[in-house]
């Protein structure tokens, strides 16, 4: 493997590491009242560990893309096009059937925001990696 190919591969690995940290930050903020309080410390620890690596700033634009991943998940969860989402609830043995309805979010804004963030991070990474010579 040539030095340039190895350097490019490592840059993408740093991008992936920062992407995971960015996703953890977004998940922590979106779910701050539930799981977020437990995810934010993981994101902070990941940031500290990555900043201690001299080569890791090459992939820091992965943070931007990582912010979009939980937004795509929210879009996926609400893929029923928004409005009321109803399903049956109850038990067949107790003969207590009913409907439980919740208000689903419109998935399109979440999808658009997630895709824009992911694309922005990738474009920023590619532009930055072409403009800055990297060492192995």
- Give me the average pLDDT of each 10-residue run along the chain (136 residues): 66 94 93 92 96 90 95 88 66 61 82 96 91 61
Tell which residue, 12, 25, 127, 108, has the closest CA to residue 69: 25
pLDDT for 136 equals 47
Contact 59, 12 (CB under 8 A): yes
Residue 77 is predicted with a pLDDT of: 86
* Verdict on whether the full-model pTM lies above 0.85: no
Considering the domain boundaries, does residue 85 fall inside one? yes
According to DSSP, residue 97 is labeled E
Q: Which domain holds residue 59?
A: 3-131
Residue 136 lies in a domain: no
**pLDDT at residue number 4:** 59
Residue 102 maps to a domain: yes
> What's the number of domains the chain is made of?
1
């Amino acid at each position: 493997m040539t030095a340039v190919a190895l350097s490019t591969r490592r840059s993408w690995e740093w991008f992936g590491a920062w992407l995971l940290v960015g996703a953890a930050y977004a998940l922590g903020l979106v779910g701050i009242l539930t799981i977020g309080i437990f995810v934010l410390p993981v994101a902070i620890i990941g940031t500290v560990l990555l900043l201690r690596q001299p080569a890791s700033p090459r992939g820091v634009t992965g943070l931007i893309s990582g912010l979009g991943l939980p937004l795509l998940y929210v879009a996926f969860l609400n893929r029923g096009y928004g409005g009321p989402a109803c399903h049956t609830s109850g038990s067949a043995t107790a003969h207590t059937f009913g409907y439980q309805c919740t208000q689903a979010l419109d998935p399109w804004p979440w999808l658009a925001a997630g895709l824009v963030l992911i694309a922005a991070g990738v474009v920023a990474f590619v532009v930055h990696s072409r403009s800055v010579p990297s060492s192995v």
